């Protein structure tokens, strides 16, 4: 399912227009992105938690040349599923 499919499904189930659903979805995704960018986490009880994690620096290898390279430390987004989501999937 892609974003357009998601918008269409929500629109048909909620009775809201596709334009309204798209605006709300873009707003939610934007707020989650802004919170993660500022170092906060977003917890949706029963669904899951969006947070950032530090990935430490490490040594990698260039697959074309075989030379070793140093990969710097980075911050990456992460998602941990909540219990209700896990139960729904199983």
- Distance from C-alpha of 59 to C-alpha of 77, rounded to nearest angstrom: 21
pLDDT in tens, 43-62: 999 999 999 999 999 999 99
Tokens describing residue 31 = 């707020």
Range of the domain at 86: 41-90
Q: Are residues 80 and 57 in the same domain?
A: yes
Average pLDDT, the chain: 96
Q: Are residues 45 and 86 in the same domain?
A: yes
What is the pTM for the complete model shown? 0.81
Q: Are residues 18 and 58 in the same domain?
A: no
Tokens describing residue 26 = 């873009």
Q: Are residues 36 and 80 in the same domain?
A: no
Q: Where are the alpha helices (DSSP H) in the chain?
A: 3-14, 18-37, 83-89
């Amino acid at each position: 399912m892609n974003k357009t499919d998601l918008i269409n499904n929500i629109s048909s189930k909620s009775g809201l227009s596709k334009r309204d659903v798209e605006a709300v979805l873009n707003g939610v995704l934007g707020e989650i992105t802004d919170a993660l960018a500022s170092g906060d986490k977003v917890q949706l009880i029963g669904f899951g938690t969006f947070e950032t994690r530090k990935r430490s620096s490490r040594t990698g290898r260039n697959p074309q040349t075989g030379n070793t390279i140093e990969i710097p430390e980075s911050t990456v987004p992460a998602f941990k599923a909540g219990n209700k989501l896990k139960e729904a999937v199983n």
